[in-house]
Structure 1
Amino acid sequence: MPLYSTLYAVGHFISALSAAVLGIYILTFRKKSAATWFIAIYVISFAATRFIGFILDSALTPGVVNLIYIHRSLMAGGIFLTIFAYMYHENVHKRESIIVLSMLSLFTIISYIIFALRTSSAVPYFDFILSSYRYNDMSFRGEFIAPLFVVIYIWSAVVFIRKTVRFSISQKRVPSTKQPKHGIARIYAVPAEKIVSFVRALLFPVGIHARACRAFLFATLIPLALMSFYLLALKGVIRYASYELFVSIGSMLFLVIFVVIYMNNSPQPTTFLFKITVIPLITALAVIGFMAIPANSSIEQIYEKKLIKSVNAASAYVLRQDGSYLPQDIIYIIRHPADDNVPSTNYEDIVIQPAGMSIAKIINEEGKKRHQANPRRQFRSINVSDPASYSICRTFTSGKYVYEVGLSYIEYRRYLGDVLVNYIWMALMIAAIVFILFPLFFYRALLTPLNGLMAAIESFDQNKLKVNLKIERNDEFGRIADSFNKMAHRLSRYINEIVSSRKKLTEYSNHLETMVDERTKELIVSNKGLRDEMEERKNAENLLEQMVRSEFLNLDKYPDFLREHHLTKREEQILVDLLNGFSNREIADQYGIAEPTAKVHTINIYRKFNVNSKTKLVKTILQSLSALSASNKAFNEASKEKNS
């Protein structure tokens, strides 16, 4: 099966190759969550439909017209985007997701069934501008499916918005503002606070999953914009060819951005090899695709000269009737009168080379108006199912007739394909080189030292302190290894010192416990002695108190002692009460006087005995009475001896 590549076909192939690289890389994950499997299947499906589309377009097969609408849903995500929106990072709306996804799946299936029924008997035509087959009726292009996809993308964006706010608020509670206590202001305060918290969580998300959902939200705007362009193209606001260009570039941009966002926020561990291999590879493939654009323009200019040369040869053939001047790419030459306004019934054949072509078929094609023009050329598709009947038309006037020259469209596609296929081979070679050689190079240059560093860190984390990385180079990794060795050595020394200090501290703690136990025993013995001594002292104090009270109650026996201190009668009474433990209030109540008066008497007594407290008063009086008692006792004994 010969392939006739065009610029669009090259774009399809590069997109398929880029998507295949992304899908293969995602499948290399050791651990894959449901979301990871889902993205891998989606990306590989995208690559498969793009590659099949490239084959069918290049082979000029009408079956591509049915594939394109399946591919449209994959290019812009479709229902797959909504499924992923619910699945990442966790499905926090399980009941809602079941209902919504079931409804969307049902509507999508019904839409494609309707599309299949409407197109089952439709005849496609070849769009020479897009170099591919399409249905002539605009309604066959999915006009009834486009609004459904707009709803899908809007709902996906809503899910990402809700999950961004939910994950952000769960990570860090937004501080609540002070609310008014009364009035209508309180009615609006709670909704206003919720709106402020919602906007703050959406604009300034907290946490990796909240930021990832916001990034996915921005990525969702790309397919939403593409579908908006699609609606504008269906309504004739923009050219369908312009939309095809937008959707080809935008869908690939969406796919790459979406996968990169997931790689940066994947719940499974990823590798640095993706960023240094896959992203440069996709960038290189994109550059090749854009390089094909000016190359295609150059090829078109060269082919235009070839067309002019063939038309001149056809003009010479008409004038000379010499077949030696007729190029092989001319498939027919027909004419009609120059002054005829209805040429479709007055065509005459001059040359018709294909065996199955006739002037009647050309007239029939003119009646059905199966021809197309772009700013540069006009085309005919005499038999839609036979690409050999497709032609590029040029006209010239000679005498009374207008001549139309039909040049083989297959030869034109072959001419383009012979040059553009080089870009396909170039893309394959670069993909093979980058995908095979880059990992080998970067594995030795980057991943080997990084893996060594990771192994050393894991060993260090497992208390294997004797870690020493080999320094085989003097670049950044060599300096990192040297710094790590120094850090590991210092940490090992510090840890050993800490262990030694802890051992000494444990020994000292044990010794201290022994000392504390011994001291505790000594204190127990000492406390027992103190308690015994305090008990004896208490008994002595009680005895002394009884003695003091007995003496104090008999102060009348010591009139000289009372006169010596110049006490009044009231002060003598209050002195006895003070010595017996009465307070000023009790003394005042006993004698019917005011408490301040009793306090004044007490102060006068303290002053006369030259003391400032009741304790010193008792001590002074006790000492004085003891001295008087001893003196009286001595005097009495002396008197007895004298009398005897």
Structure 2
Amino acid sequence: MIYLNLWGLSNFINAIFYVIITVFLFSLKEKQNSTKYLSYFFFGLTFLNIGYLMSGAIPFPVGANHRYITVGIILFPTVTYLVRYAYHIIDDLYPREAKIVFYFSVIIDLFLVLRFFYLASTAVAEFNFRGDIYDYPQLGKYVALALILQILFFIIIMIRKAFHYKNENRKLILQMMFGLISITLIPSTLNVLMKKGSITPELFHIVYSICFLLGGFITTIVFINNAIEKTSFMTKVVGISAVTFLLLLQILAARMSISQEKNFDMIHNLELKALITGKNYSDFPTLSYLVSFPKGARISESASILYKKEGLELEISKLGNDNYEQRYIQKISNQTEGLFFGYRITDDTTNITYEAGFPYLEYRKFIHNMGVIIIQITLLAVFILLLIFPIFFYRNIGKPLRTLLEGFGEVKKGNLRVSVPLFYQDEIGTIGKTFNRMVIRLFVGKRKQEEYAGQLEQKVKERTREVVIKMKEIEKLKIHQDGDYFLTSLIQKPLITNWNRSREVTTDFFIKQIKTFEFRNKKSELGGDICISGNLKFDNDVYVFFVNGDAMGKSMQGAGGAIVLGTVVNYMISRSTSNKQSLNVSPKNWLETTYHELNQIFHTFDGLMMISVVMGLIHIKTGEMFFYNAEHPWLVLYRDKKAEFIENELTLRKIGSPSEYEFSIQKFQLHPGDVLIGGSDGRDDIDITPDAETRTINEDETLFLRAVERGEGNLETIYQLIKQTGRIIDDLSMIRIGFHEKAHVRNV
């Protein structure tokens, strides 16, 4: 006979749930290895719940045989394939280790299962009062230990893989681990606590059932949302609906079962009171025995049998001696017929305690009636969810979506005359309307495109003719512009003069302008950099004059500034050297006068033309140098194969711009063999990542020092070394001044 209790009812609902999940997983095509192992795991859980259903539905010693199913299925394949799943989720990172662990687990698990079967075949089933089932309580310790160890090993593997992956993969592993722990570790731990008496069987049954459903629900949802295998929208909707309903049904079953037990207790407490007052025992056909004993005394020593059912061999010594205030189970014999529910009540007037016993099967029949109703509701709900719901969803969602997808397929093939039917005026209907409008617009657009394509050749010819005309106009403008550039360069070149003829102090120039052009097969360049040198006499002392300038602006604007500077400076040199005269002013005064004249001229441009310069005079005998630097890159001294700056701070603004600094002449002493090298901004303005999408401009001023050292003061070599570091993005001019060098070939 089958008599359901809460435990059996909960496992029936769980079994239905896991049957649905298992069928779903096995129905997937082209499964990944991890999906296969997960389906084997859920297949094992299905039979595990069927075994527990058997224990809760058969209140006889034969019900203990459920352990053959649960023990036989829990280790292999259930937990064994759970560990295998952990190794294969996402990727198999440890293939050799996974194989070794699998075969080792199979051997150990089969040994433990066969050992349990052998011991159970000779063991006697006992009724578990706390679990309300027949069981082999003395068996299964090693199986439980192996189960816990394999679950912990599963957790370790999942954590290892979570640390290996990042972002979404790590999130997937942790979510799956949480869901699977809810199914395995939590129920296993609670089972141990229940057997020790730390928690009640009712609490264990409720938490166990909810953990199994919630864990399965979480695992299924996470799997569906991340599955590589193809799943349908209908499967997701129906699956989530079924799981949600079964979870609610599980909670409802627990509440109804507890309520049913309270009703059972209330009825039998009332019967006990009626027995005490009425003494008519024949009116209570379910009564098995009635005994009385003094209040506070031990029942086994002082009880009197007031009534016992015919054929019942009642032994007072087997009745409980504790003072029970609610229903408790009495075991007169090891068979179900020897199990009774006992109720006690004390008559305060006589100080006599009465105990009435009722057959345990009466309790199971009472609970079973409620269980049958829950099972009927469950089966009806599953029928509706798996058969009626899909029909409803298909008609209202699936069919319209499939029709819409077919429409998209036709459009993909090029059929723009397709029109999807509108089944309902809901959100999907709105999408269908929008789709039809889109197809109409595409069709109209395609027609226009075909019309344009027919006229394309003529339009291409017209556009080509227009482009040719514009290109000729641009070519004329380009020729005119290059002519302007060429004429400007012709004016600028004579102003770049190396008039120095001293053998003691040599001067060399290097100029590379960014703007290059070709005019009438003549290549040239144009920019704002300029170098000038010459010789001046001051009281019969000969000085070498030098200047290196960089005018503001690009191309024409920069060239204009350089022409102004070159014209003025060359005029000043010519004026100061006319008739081989000797100037009767000091070198410092001459430099100061030159600065003020230049500054006054450039000020007339109202800030539209400015120029940075370094200008100086060097005594050809002593090496004494006077100079000023108007916001130009610092001069470099190359001495004993080491390069260093001879300046360390800004002392003057550009010529032609207001300056907060007071004009001053700087002084420096050159030694025989020294080389001075000056240069414009181009020596530092280098794109060091020329092949990248965004430019990275050099900010290291010492790069030029290293180039001077490696180039040993040779301007051409220095230029090549700078080019090797990146792309030069500004005009570059350099002036080299050698003082009393042993051997130097002058180069301009």
- What TM-score do the two structures reach when normalised by structure 2? 0.54
Q: Deviations for 1:380-402, whole angstroms, at most 9, x for unmatched residues?
A: 12222x32221111345687975
Q: CA deviation at 1:476?
A: 0.9
- The correspondence of residues 270-419 of structure 1 with structure 2, limited to 5 A, is 270-316=231-277, 322-325=280-283, 327-334=284-291, 341=298, 343-344=299-300, 349-353=305-309, 355=311, 357-360=312-315, 363=317, 365=318, 376-384=326-334, 386-396=335-345, 403-419=354-370
Q: CA deviation at 1:105?
A: 2.2
CA contact (8 A) 1:373 1:379 kept: no
CA contact (8 A) 2:41 2:82 kept: no
Q: CA deviation at 1:71?
A: 8.3
Provide the secondary structure at the position in 2 that maps to 1:410.
helix
Say if 1:397 and 1:472 are closer, same or farther in 2 by CA, change over 3 A.
closer
Q: Deviations for 1:571-613, whole angstroms, at most 9, x for unmatched residues?
A: xxxxxxxxxxxxxxxxxxxxxxxxxxxxxxxxxxxxxxxxxxx
Q: Deviations for 1:393-446, whole angstroms, at most 9, x for unmatched residues?
A: 134568797553211221122122223321221121122122211111110100
Say if 1:225 and 1:487 are closer, same or farther in 2 by CA, change over 3 A.
same
Counterpart in the other structure of 1:491: 442
Q: Deviations for 1:457-508, whole angstroms, at most 9, x for unmatched residues?
A: 2232333343321223321111111111222333344456556666766899
Say if 1:329 and 1:240 are closer, same or farther in 2 by CA, change over 3 A.
closer
The one-letter code of the counterpart of 1:87 is: H
Provide the secondary structure at the position in 2 that maps to 1:78.
helix
Give the whole-Å Cα distance in 2 for the aligned partners of 1:374 and 1:80: 47
CA contact (8 A) 1:299 1:416 kept: yes
Say if 1:164 and 1:338 are closer, same or farther in 2 by CA, change over 3 A.
closer
Provide the secondary structure at the position in 2 that maps to 1:330.
coil
Q: CA deviation at 1:11?
A: 1.3
Say if 1:401 and 1:211 are closer, same or farther in 2 by CA, change over 3 A.
closer
Counterpart in the other structure of 2:158: 160
Counterpart in the other structure of 1:51: 50
Give the whole-Å Cα distance in 2 for the aligned partners of 1:287 and 1:275: 18
Counterpart in the other structure of 2:176: 216
Coordinate RMSD, CA, aligned = 4.0
CA contact (8 A) 1:14 1:289 kept: yes
Give the whole-Å Cα distance in 1 for the aligned partners of 2:250 and 2:155: 31
Counterpart in the other structure of 2:149: 151
Give the whole-Å Cα distance in 2 for the aligned partners of 1:265 and 1:333: 63
Say if 1:301 and 1:261 are closer, same or farther in 2 by CA, change over 3 A.
same
Q: Which has the higher strand share?
A: 2
Say if 1:412 and 1:242 are closer, same or farther in 2 by CA, change over 3 A.
closer
Say if 1:470 and 1:344 are closer, same or farther in 2 by CA, change over 3 A.
same
Give the whole-Å Cα distance in 2 for the aligned partners of 1:114 and 1:285: 36
Counterpart in the other structure of 1:96: 97
Counterpart in the other structure of 1:478: 429
Q: CA deviation at 1:307?
A: 0.9
CA contact (8 A) 2:12 2:53 kept: yes
- The correspondence of residues 508-519 of structure 1 with structure 2, limited to 5 A, is none
Q: Which has the higher helix share?
A: 1
CA contact (8 A) 1:332 1:353 kept: yes
Give the whole-Å Cα distance in 2 for the aligned partners of 1:354 and 1:291: 40
Q: In the alignment, is residue 113 of structure 1 matched against residue 114 of structure 2? A: yes
Q: In the alignment, is residue 452 of structure 1 matched against residue 403 of structure 2? A: yes
Give the whole-Å Cα distance in 2 for the aligned partners of 1:441 and 1:12: 29
Q: Deviations for 1:85-113, whole angstroms, at most 9, x for unmatched residues?
A: 22334434321210111222223223333
Say if 1:457 and 1:252 are closer, same or farther in 2 by CA, change over 3 A.
same
Q: In the alignment, is residue 251 of structure 1 matched against residue 219 of structure 2? A: no
Give the whole-Å Cα distance in 1 for the aligned partners of 2:379 and 2:449: 60
Q: Deviations for 1:207-266, whole angstroms, at most 9, x for unmatched residues?
A: xx5543332133244233444444555666555654443322212221222122212222
CA contact (8 A) 2:5 2:371 kept: yes
Say if 1:438 and 1:216 are closer, same or farther in 2 by CA, change over 3 A.
same
The one-letter code of the counterpart of 1:61 is: F
Say if 1:96 and 1:505 are closer, same or farther in 2 by CA, change over 3 A.
farther
CA contact (8 A) 1:164 1:214 kept: yes
Provide the secondary structure at the position in 2 that maps to 1:130.
coil
Provide the secondary structure at the position in 1 that maps to 2:288.
strand
Counterpart in the other structure of 1:82: 83
Provide the secondary structure at the position in 2 that maps to 1:359.
coil
Give the whole-Å Cα distance in 2 for the aligned partners of 1:476 and 1:280: 21
Q: CA deviation at 1:346?
A: 6.6
Mark the runs of 5 or more structure 1 residues left unpaired by the alignment: 169-200, 514-644
Give the whole-Å Cα distance in 2 for the aligned partners of 1:495 and 1:340: 101
CA contact (8 A) 1:11 1:289 kept: yes
CA contact (8 A) 1:12 1:50 kept: yes
CA contact (8 A) 1:226 1:250 kept: yes
Q: CA deviation at 1:122?
A: 3.4
Say if 1:267 and 1:372 are closer, same or farther in 2 by CA, change over 3 A.
farther
Q: In the alignment, is residue 24 of structure 1 matched against residue 23 of structure 2? A: yes
CA contact (8 A) 1:4 1:414 kept: yes
Give the whole-Å Cα distance in 2 for the aligned partners of 1:52 and 1:30: 29
Provide the secondary structure at the position in 1 that maps to 2:425.
coil
CA contact (8 A) 1:347 1:359 kept: no
Counterpart in the other structure of 1:422: 373
- The correspondence of residues 186-197 of structure 1 with structure 2, limited to 5 A, is none
Q: Deviations for 1:281-321, whole angstroms, at most 9, x for unmatched residues?
A: 2222222222233333332333223212322343356xx5x
CA contact (8 A) 1:128 1:379 kept: yes
Say if 1:8 and 1:131 are closer, same or farther in 2 by CA, change over 3 A.
same
Give the whole-Å Cα distance in 1 for the aligned partners of 2:197 and 2:309: 39
Mark the runs of 5 or more structure 2 residues left unpaired by the alignment: 465-748
- What TM-score do the two structures reach when normalised by structure 1? 0.62
Q: CA deviation at 1:73?
A: 3.0
Say if 1:359 and 1:214 are closer, same or farther in 2 by CA, change over 3 A.
closer
Say if 1:293 and 1:64 are closer, same or farther in 2 by CA, change over 3 A.
same
Give the whole-Å Cα distance in 2 for the aligned partners of 1:33 and 1:64: 38
Give the whole-Å Cα distance in 2 for the aligned partners of 1:53 and 1:95: 36
Give the whole-Å Cα distance in 2 for the aligned partners of 1:75 and 1:472: 51
Counterpart in the other structure of 2:11: 12
Moved more, 285-294 or 502-511: 502-511
CA contact (8 A) 1:334 1:348 kept: yes
Give the whole-Å Cα distance in 1 for the aligned partners of 2:259 and 2:196: 33
Percent identical across equivalent pairs? 20
Say if 1:500 and 1:71 are closer, same or farther in 2 by CA, change over 3 A.
farther
